[in-house]
Amino acid sequence: MAVPELDPEARTAALAKAAEARRIRAELKQMLKAGEVSLRQLLDQANDSDALAKMRVIEVLTAMPAYGPVKARRLMEELDIAPSRRLRGLGPRQREALLATFEGGS
């Protein structure tokens, strides 16, 4: 499938939208690392925000305090979450398992 040609205005709009989505994701990951927002709040916001819904779960986990790439990957394997899974694609059981891990079993 060929990439469609965009006129300059549409291209500019698409680039601006992509930049805004990256900014939102980076800001939220920083807030998550600093403890200003919880995983539950992030998952709830992802229901409403397309930019957040398209974040990979591994990115969110590595932004959690005390979690790096190895620990995040192990947790995802433990909870049977595919490495390519995005927040919007989490099933109810996977979501609850993640929340239970970070909220102490709630």
pLDDT of 86 reads: 96
With helix as H, strand as E and coil as C, how does 50-103 read?
Answer: HHHHCCEHHHHHHHCCCCCHHHHHHHHHHCCCCCCCEHHHCCHHHHHHHHHHHH
CATH 1.10.8.50 fits 8-103, yes or no: yes
pLDDT digits (tens, 9 = 90+) for 54-91: 999 999 999 998 899 999 999 999 999 999 999 999 99
Q: How confident is the model at residue 36 (pLDDT cuts 50, 70, 90)?
A: very high
Domain ranges for the chain, please list them.
8-103
CA–CA gap between residue 85 and residue 72 (Å, rounded): 13
CA–CA gap between residue 97 and residue 64 (Å, rounded): 15
Q: How confident is the model at residue 3 (pLDDT cuts 50, 70, 90)?
A: confident
Closest to 101 in 3D by CA, of 59, 52, 46, 40: 40
| pTM beyond 0.85, yes or no | no
